[in-house]
Amino acid sequence: MKNKKQSILLMLMLNVVCVFSQSGKATDLALGREHLLMDFGWRFSLGHAKDFAKDFGTGTAYFTHFAKAGYGDGAAAPAFKDSAWREVDLPHDWAVELPFSGSASHSHGYKTIGWKYPETSVGWYRKKFNLSASDLGRKISIQFDGIHRNSTVWVNGFYMGHEPSGYASSVYDITDYLNYGGENTVAVRVDASIEEGWYYEGAGIYRHVWLNKTNRLHVAQYGTFVTSETTVDKAELTIRTKVENQYAQRKNFTIEQTLLDANNQQVVSKKLEDISLNGNLDETYFQKINLDKPTLWSLENPYLYKLKTNIISEGKIVDSYTTNVGIRTVRFDPNLGFFLNGKNVKILGTNIHQDHAGVGTAIPDALQEFRIRKLKEMGSNAIRTSHNPPTPELLDACDRMGMLVMDENRLMGINREHFDLLERFMVRDRNHPSVVIWSVGNEEWAIESNEKGARITKTMQEFAQKLDSSRAFTVAVSGGWENGSGKTTQVMGYNYIVQGNIDEHHKNFPWQSGIGTEESNTIGTRGVYVDDKENGRMAASNRMPENVGTESGWKFYAVRPFLSGVFYWTGFDYRGEPNPLEWPAVNSQFGIIDLCGFPKDIFFYLKSWWGKEPVMHIMPHWNWKGSEGKPIKVTVYSNVEVVELLLNGKTLEKKTMEKNGHLEWNVNYKPGTLVAKGFVKGKLTVSEKIQTSDEPAKVELTADRMELNADGEDVAVITVRMNDKKNLLVPTANNEVTFTLNGPGKIIGVGNGDPASHEPEQLFGHEQWKRKAFNGLAQIIVKTTKQGGEITLTASSEGMTSMILKLNSKAAVIRPTTESITK
C-alpha cells in the first residue's frame, strides 16, 4: 500500500495538531449524516438487584434475550407498560436522589446504594422514538457517552450488548433492528451494585445519548486524526481519515477536505480523488494540507479551525463530517519541563471528579463551563480527569476555554478488555487540542512498585502509541518509584512529594520527564476555623499528612524546572472519601473549592502565585462574639512585597511577603474592621477589608449568567447569600431558605457546600424547594425549558427580606433531537 510509509512516519511525529471529531450539528439529510440528541422524555424506575419479580420479571420468560434474538422480556420488551414510571431528562443520576445512611459506603458518600441496598441499586430507563421510512438503507447507531454502571441495552426487544464500565462510551449498531416508518423502543438496565471507583460515582445514564445516522459510505465515528509540523509562520497538516464502506459492493469516491477559520471562511481545500474501496471494508487515507501564518491554539488564545470532510460518490456528497482543529505543538523535556508551541509553560493543575452539588454526576454542559471558569479564576491552567475518561463535553469546554488536560484511563491491564477500553477512549479523545498527555493508570498498589507494574506499563504504552504517538504517556505512582511503573513510564507521575525522593529519582532516570500527578492540598471546610470533627467538619487550615499542604507543595514544584507542573488533590470537594473523618461527614474536604464552587481560603494562596493580578485575602472572618480580647490568628494571602494590617484604623504591623509564601499575625479580637494593604515598591497596589457583621437580615441572589438559552439544556448557577442590613455577608449564618420558581425553567438541584449535610438536594412533585445556608452561602441550579421568556426565582427566609431574581431565557437554536423525527 503506497501510504504505508506515510503511516509509519505519522506515528513518529512529535509536533502535532490535535482535533476533536464530532459529527456536530445535524446536516441536510441529503448529506447522509445526522447526530441527534436523545436526552429528552425518558421513563425511569428503580428495579431490583436480587429479586427478579421486583425487577419487572426481566429474564424469567421461557425464552430470554440470551436464548432468542428479539426476545427481551419484562421491562426490556417493547410492549411493556411504563406509563407509571417517572419521566426524566438526561443526564440523570438517581444516586444523588437517595437518602444517606451511616451504614452505607464510606467511599461513596454514605448514599443508600450498593450491594447492601438491592432495592435502590438497579435502575431502568425506557424511551420511544420514531423513525422515518426514508431512513431505510442508512446505517444507524445509538451512542451512550456514559452509563454508571454495568449497563445492558435493548432496542425493540433485541439485546444490543453489555458495558461493565461506567466511564466508557459505547456505540451499538441498531440498523437491522429498527421499525422504519414506525415507533421504536430502547430499554436500558443499569446495575450500580458493585463500585468501580473509590469515590462517589452516581448511578444511571449520567452523560448524553445520541442517535447517529449515516450513509453506508461514510467517515467512521471519530474517524479523522490530524497532526502537524509547524515552523515560524507555516504549518503542514497530515490528515488521517478512516472511511467505512458498508455497502455490499465496491464504491468509488473522492475525499474533499476544507479547512475553515473561526469565522467559517475557507483557508484551504484539497481533494484525494479516484479512491476505490471494496464492500464491507474500511480503510484509512492520508493527505497533507499546507497553510501560511496559522493561528496556534494556546492558553491565551484557544483558536479552533474547522476541517470539513466530504465523501463524494457518483457526483453527490454522501457524507459530511466536521472536525474542530486546534493547531499546536507539545513536548515534555526531562530537564526543562513542558512546552506548548515551543514556549515553556508550568502546568498549574487540579484533579477533578465529575460531581457537583445538587446534580451529582449528571452535570449539564453549561455547568462544566462554570467549573472550568472557577479554576481559571484561580490561575489554574490544567485538569487531570481523575481517575477515568471524562465526558466529551468537558474536553470540548477545555478546547474552547484554553485549559490543558491530562486524560486518564480507568484500569490498567493488557488483555482484550483493557485494550478495548483504552482504544475507545483514546480514539474518542485524541483529537482534542486541550489533551496534552495521557495517563494509563493511577495508584495501582498491587503492581506500581514491582516488576509486574513495569511490564504492564511498558506493554500498555506500546499499544497506546499505535493509537497516538503525538503525546507522551504517564502513570500516577504513589510509591516505589524506582522499582515498578516508574522504571518504564515515559513521564513519571509523582503522587505526593512525601512518598519518596523525587530529586533522587530524577538523578537515577535522567531520560524521564516528571510531573506531580497528585499533591496534598490544605484541607478543611469552607468558613470553618475550629475543628468540629464529631459533626463532620474540619478547620480550613488542616494538613494531611501533617505539615504538608498547598504551600509546601507549590514551593517544591516551583523551583524545579525539570518538573512540568503539579495537579493538586483536588480542585473541588466531591462526595465520598470524607477521610480522615467518618459519618456524619459524607463529602471529601480535599478541595480548593467546595462542592458548590465556592472558593475556600486556600484558593487565594494559589491565585496569588498562579495568577497575574494583585491579590489580597484575609482569613478568618471577623465574627467572633464571645472572644473579645482573645488572640485570633490572622492569615493573609497575597502576592505583594509588603502587607500592612490595620484593626479599626490602627496599624498593627507591616510584614514582608516571602515569594510563594503567606503572612500571619496574632490579633486580639475586637469587633469592627480588619484591613490589609499591599505595597509594591512602596506604592499601595491592592487592599482588602473584612468587617464584623450583624444578624442576617436579607437574602441576596446572584446568577453566574442573567441571559440563558431556551434550549432545554442551559443552566444558571445562582449563589444565595445571607446578608445583614448593611449588605455584609454573615459568614456564620445557616438559615433555611425556601425557593419558588415561575416561568419557563425548573430547579434541578440545591446545595450549600457543607460536607456533613444530609439534606435532600433534589425534590419531586409539588414539594417546596428549600435549603439551609452554610456559613452564609447556598446554591441553586435552574435549567431552562425549550420556551423563551422570563424566569423568576424568589428566595425567602423567616424574619429576613426576600429577594426576586429575574433571568431572561431567550430563543435559541435547539440541538436536533429524536423528537423532531416524523414517520
Which residue is listed with cell 480507568? Answer: 410
Q: Quickly count: other Cβ atoms within 10 Å of residue 458's Cβ.
A: 15
Tallying the residues shown for the chain, one arrives at: 823
- CB distance 313 to 306 below 8 Å: no
Type of residue numbered 457: T
Closest CA to 368 of 394, 396, 401: 394
8-state DSSP, 485: G
The secondary structure element, H or E, covering residue 4 is: helix 4-12
Residue 283 is a catalytic residue: no
At residue 212, φ and ψ (nearest 5 deg) are -110, 130
In sequence order, the 6+-apart residues with CB closer than 8 A to the CB of 527 are: 540, 621, 731, 732, 774, 775, 776
Question: What's the CA gap between 808 and 788, in Å, rounded?
Answer: 8
Query: What is the spatial distance between Cα 725 and Cα 342, in angstroms, rounded to a whole number?
Result: 54
Q: Which residues contact 269 (CB under 8 A, 6 or more apart)?
A: 256, 257, 258, 259
Q: Which residues pair with 288 in a beta bridge?
A: 238
User: Crossing angle of helices 602-610/550-558, nearest 10°?
Assistant: 20
Annotated catalytic residue within 244, 443, 448, 761: 443
Strand ranges, E, within 620-657: 631-638, 642-647, 650-656
DSSP state of 49: S
Catalytic position from the list 34, 97, 518, 688:
518
Q: Does the annotation mark 443 as catalytic?
A: yes
Give the list of residues 6+ apart from residue 609 with CB closer than 8 angstroms, or none.
379, 554, 558, 639, 659, 660
- Rounded Cα distance between 347 and 350, Å, is 10
Phi and psi at 752, nearest 5°, equal -150, 0
Nearest to 621 by CA among 750, 497, 481, 729: 729
Active site residues: 443, 518
